[in-house]
């Protein structure tokens, strides 16, 4: 399986770092986004560059004025004004020039000039075929540069064969990742990346396995965005971006952050209404669910919290907006160990302390949202935290809330993405793939029988309505893939009577009675940490075998099948030991309806 390339150049960032607790500048040391300062989790890398003496600045390789016609002084975000770094970036005007207009000679000379080589057609005959291919395929210079740059210093006689090999392997990797309706190869790189040096979207396989830095953002309302046709993605589909935003300025900002390749959904994930619309549904089956892996492996995510390319601002009303970054379903999986907040300005929220009470309250709420990201990190290991967080979020399609949890729930495999799939079917497909620990939490932690396809765990509607549960019950619910049966291996009491949990009251304490081997009745104190009523009756009861603290109450059906009714706990360790010593439990595999 392909792993992230550790040598990818991310070394040009000169940034102050800001912590959640202060939202003020801590230091201005040189930093790499692949090597954030330890011990300040979560860390926000604030990309505001320090001021330099004007006379010491080199001339810009890219500037807002040349690229967009806008004066640098009119650009709110300083890092979007100009790029003065040393990387081999090209202006949009050169990127848009057709290779056929240059001809082989000028095409070669331009590549030599940019990449510092001195190849010639006489000494390297294979170059003619390579460059002629760029012309015959109607490449512009940006596309040719993006495809050839990583291989330009290799044996030129093998570049064409190598690129064909890379493409074939990539195609096989994506084809083998999908088996039926299941993605079994979840750790795959994105299909396309935005090459900032060439300003072109290129296939991942031309990058020599360099992983892109993901850009996370929340989509704007339809009336606040525009669909543009851009040569950056070869005009393959309309690119939806916020009104007034220019991709050329985003490119400058990303270059100033030291990035080479980035992944931006609107550019790199095939969008609707393009000439390849028939390909979109097939690509989305794999591309949409697996992009969550990218956010796991890169460690740092670039976030536009106020909209793609827009300056970061904070107002009281953003917290209620469905388009606030923290309120979107897809951004739940886009949480990494550390973040760069893009769109930063000198007078923005990361650099100023409000003086009025309303402003202080806004900043306090923002800090709280940032801190809450830790609760949904892989380290939290609680399915109910993820579900509770998703309850608060919005999505363009309801099924996206389910697909957006796959990597948060440590799925071993991932269901393919179908945008028109029913919610309950999509939820069932996801629960079938998540790790057994999380499935066990749904069985032992959710207090009611399911109302959907299964009774042992909540339906999707229940999962989105339930209060946050405790979780981490310490037991598995497995699944037989051949027949689709769900099962739980645990301690089982075939007959136990539950009393005292059938009334609504604050103190929900009850009693479990069982008959020991000697015929005597033994009583144990139990507690319901929920408000669901458990009628007084005799039940079959399954216990979490590690500590016997969590129990599921249900009905015994034939052939070891079990129908869930509710759950309770036995919080007293002495009571649990006494029950264990009675030897009235037996370990059994119960099949769950």
Backbone angles phi, psi at 166, to 5 degrees: -60, -45
Which pLDDT tens digit goes with each residue over 400-439?
999 999 988 888 899 999 999 999 999 999 999 999 999 9
Give me the mean pLDDT over the 452-474 stretch: 92
Q: pLDDT grade, residue 8 (50/70/90)? A: very low
Q: What is the mean pLDDT of the chain?
A: 88
Q: What percent of the chain has pLDDT over 90?
A: 76
Q: Is residue 100 a part of any domain in this protein? A: yes
Cβ 554 vs Cβ 562: under 8 Å: yes
Cβ 450 vs Cβ 457: under 8 Å: yes
Q: Is residue 117 a part of any domain in this protein? A: yes
Q: pLDDT grade, residue 457 (50/70/90)? A: very high
Give me the mean pLDDT over the 115-139 stretch: 95
Listed in sequence order, the residues at least 6 apart from 299 whose beta carbon sits closer than 8 Å to its beta carbon are 34, 36, 336, 337, 338
Which pLDDT tens digit goes with each residue over 278-305?
899 999 999 999 999 999 899 899 999 9
Listed in sequence order, the residues at least 6 apart from 125 whose beta carbon sits closer than 8 Å to its beta carbon are none
* Token digits of residue 208: 């020599």
Q: How far apart are CA 36 and CA 159, in angstroms?
A: 36
DSSP code per residue over 150-214: GGTTS-GGGHHHHHHHHHHHHHHHHHHHEETTEES------SEEEETTTTEEEEGGGGSSPPPEE
Long-range contacts of 531-534 (CB under 8 A, 24+ apart): 531/447, 531/504, 532/447, 532/448, 532/566, 533/501, 533/502, 533/503, 533/504, 534/498, 534/501, 534/502, 534/510, 534/565, 534/566, 534/568
Please tell me the predicted confidence (pLDDT) of residue 16: 34
141 vs 214, 256, 333, 433, CA distance in Å? 25, 23, 36, 45
Comparing 25-29, 533-537, 571-575, the range with the smallest average pLDDT is 25-29
Total tally of structural domains belonging to the chain: 2
Closest of 128, 114, 275, 284 to residue 199, by C-alpha: 114
Backbone angles phi, psi at 511, to 5 degrees: -140, 140
3-state class (DSSP) for residue 221? coil
Q: Is residue 430 a part of any domain in this protein? A: no
Which pLDDT tens digit goes with each residue over 154-212?
999 999 999 999 999 999 999 999 999 999 999 999 999 999 999 999 999 999 989 99
Q: How far apart are CA 591 and CA 73, in angstroms?
A: 68
Q: pLDDT grade, residue 59 (50/70/90)? A: confident
| Residue 472: Cβ within 10 Å count | 18
Q: How far apart are CA 25 and CA 351, in angstroms?
A: 7
Q: How far apart are CA 507 and CA 524, in angstroms?
A: 16
Q: How far apart are CA 254 and CA 259, in angstroms?
A: 6
Q: How far apart are CA 493 and CA 518, in angstroms?
A: 16
pLDDT for residue 138 is more than 70: yes
Which pLDDT tens digit goes with each residue over 324-362?
999 999 999 998 888 899 999 999 998 888 889 999 999
Which pLDDT tens digit goes with each residue over 371-410?
877 666 655 668 998 999 999 999 999 999 999 999 888 8
Please tell me the predicted confidence (pLDDT) of residue 277: 83
3-state class (DSSP) for residue 392? coil
Backbone angles phi, psi at 538, to 5 degrees: -100, 130
3-state class (DSSP) for residue 570? coil
Please tell me the predicted confidence (pLDDT) of residue 57: 64
10 Å CB burial of residue 457 (0-12, 13-18, 19+) is buried
Backbone angles phi, psi at 453, to 5 degrees: -70, -25
Domain of residue 119 covers 92-171
Please tell me the predicted confidence (pLDDT) of residue 375: 63
Q: Is residue 130 a part of any domain in this protein? A: yes
Q: How far apart are CA 25 and CA 15, in angstroms?
A: 10
Query: Which parts of 321-410 are beta strand (E)?
Result: 338-341
Please tell me the predicted confidence (pLDDT) of residue 222: 84
Q: Is residue 579 a part of any domain in this protein? A: yes
Please tell me the predicted confidence (pLDDT) of residue 330: 95
Please tell me the predicted confidence (pLDDT) of residue 379: 54
Q: Is residue 534 a part of any domain in this protein? A: yes
Q: Is residue 451 a part of any domain in this protein? A: no
Give me the mean pLDDT over the 101-106 stretch: 97
Last residue of a domain, one of 152, 171, 190: 171
Please tell me the predicted confidence (pLDDT) of residue 22: 34
Interhelix angle 141-148/99-115, nearest 10 degrees: 40
Last residue of a domain, one of 123, 149, 171: 171
Please tell me the predicted confidence (pLDDT) of residue 547: 83
Cβ 447 vs Cβ 453: under 8 Å: no
3-state class (DSSP) for residue 256? helix
Q: How far apart are CA 401 and CA 449, in angstroms?
A: 22
| Residue 520: Cβ within 10 Å count | 9
Q: Is residue 112 a part of any domain in this protein? A: yes
Comparing 81-90, 223-232, 504-513, 565-574, the range with the smallest average pLDDT is 504-513
Which pLDDT tens digit goes with each residue over 571-585?
999 999 999 999 899
Please tell me the predicted confidence (pLDDT) of residue 46: 44
* Token digits of residue 185: 């190869």
Q: Which residues of 99-111 are buried (b: 16+ CB within 10 A; e: fewer)?
A: beebebeebbebb
Which pLDDT tens digit goes with each residue over 210-225?
999 999 999 998 889 9
10 Å CB burial of residue 3 (0-12, 13-18, 19+) is exposed
Last residue of a domain, one of 171, 194, 220: 171
Q: What percent of the chain has pLDDT over 70?
A: 89
The rounded radius of gyration (Å) of the Cα atoms in the chain is 29
Please tell me the predicted confidence (pLDDT) of residue 377: 62
Closest of 402, 439, 228, 219 to residue 325, by C-alpha: 219
Q: Which residue has the higher pLDDT, 107 or 25?
A: 107
For CA atoms 89, 57, 29, 331, give the dihedral sign: negative
Please tell me the predicted confidence (pLDDT) of residue 288: 96
């Amino acid at each position: 399986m392909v792993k992230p390339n550790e040598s990818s150049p991310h070394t040009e960032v000169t940034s102050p770092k800001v912590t959640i607790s202060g939202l003020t500048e801590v230091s201005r040391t040189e930093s790499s986004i692949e090597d954030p300062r330890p011990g300040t989790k979560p860390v926000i890398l604030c990309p505001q560059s320090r001021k330099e003496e004007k006379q010491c600045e080199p001339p810009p390789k890219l500037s807002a004025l040349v690229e967009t016609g806008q004066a640098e002084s009119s650009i709110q975000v300083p890092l979007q004004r100009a790029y003065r770094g040393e990387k081999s970036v090209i202006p949009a005007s050169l990127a848009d020039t057709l290779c056929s207009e240059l001809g082989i000679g000028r095409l070669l000379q331009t590549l030599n000039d940019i990449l510092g080589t001195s190849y010639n057609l006489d000494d390297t005959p294979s170059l003619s075929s390579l460059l002629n291919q760029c012309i015959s395929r109607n490449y512009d210079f940006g596309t040719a540069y993006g495809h050839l740059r990583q291989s330009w210093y290799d044996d030129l006689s093998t570049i064409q064969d190598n690129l064909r090999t890379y493409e074939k392997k990539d195609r096989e990797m994506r084809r083998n990742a999908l088996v039926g309706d299941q993605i079994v190869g979840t750790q795959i790189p994105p299909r396309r990346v935005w090459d900032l040096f060439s300003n072109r979207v290129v296939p991942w396989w031309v990058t020599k396995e360099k992983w892109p830095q993901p850009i996370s953002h929340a989509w704007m309302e339809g009336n606040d965005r525009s669909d543009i046709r851009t040569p950056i993605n070869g005009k393959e589909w309309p690119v939806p971006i916020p009104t007034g935003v220019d991709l050329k300025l985003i490119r400058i900002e990303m270059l100033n952050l030291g990035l080479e390749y980035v992944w931006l959904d609107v550019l790199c994930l095939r969008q609707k209404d393009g000439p390849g619309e028939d390909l979109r549904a097939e690509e989305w089956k794999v591309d949409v669910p697996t992009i969550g892996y990218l956010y796991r492996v890169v460690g740092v995510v670039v976030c536009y919290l106020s909209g793609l390319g827009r300056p970061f601002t904070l107002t009281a009303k953003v917290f209620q907006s469905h388009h606030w970054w923290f309120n979107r379903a897809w951004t739940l999986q886009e949480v990494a160990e550390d973040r760069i907040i893009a769109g930063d300005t000198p007078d923005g929220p990361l650099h100023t302390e409000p003086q009025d009470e309303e402003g202080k309250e806004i900043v306090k709420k923002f800090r709280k949202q940032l801190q809450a990201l830790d609760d949904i990190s892989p380290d939290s290991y609680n399915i109910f935290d993820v579900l509770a967080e998703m309850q608060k979020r919005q999505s363009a399609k309801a099924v996206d809330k389910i697909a957006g949890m796959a990597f948060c729930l440590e799925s071993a495999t991932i269901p393919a993405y179908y945008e028109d799939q029913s919610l309950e079917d999509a939820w069932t497909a996801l629960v079938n793939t998540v790790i057994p620990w999380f499935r066990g939490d749904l069985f032992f932690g959710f207090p009611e029988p399911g109302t959907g396809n299964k009774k042992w765990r909540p339906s999707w509607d229940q999962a989105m309505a339930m209060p946050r549960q405790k979780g981490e019950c310490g037991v598995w619910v497995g699944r037989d893939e051949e027949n689709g049966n769900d099962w739980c291996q645990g301690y089982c009491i075939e007959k136990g009577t539950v009393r005292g949990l059938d009334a609504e009251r604050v103190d929900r304490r009850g009693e479990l009675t069982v008959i020991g081997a000697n015929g005597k009745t033994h009583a144990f104190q139990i507690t319901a940490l929920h408000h669901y009523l458990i009628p007084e009756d005799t039940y079959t009861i399954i216990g979490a075998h590690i500590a016997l603290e969590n129990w599921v109450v249900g009905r015994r059906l034939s052939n070891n099948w079990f129908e869930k009714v509710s759950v309770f706990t036995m919080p007293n360790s002495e009571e649990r030991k006494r029950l264990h010593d009675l030897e009235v439990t037996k370990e059994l595999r119960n099949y769950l309806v």
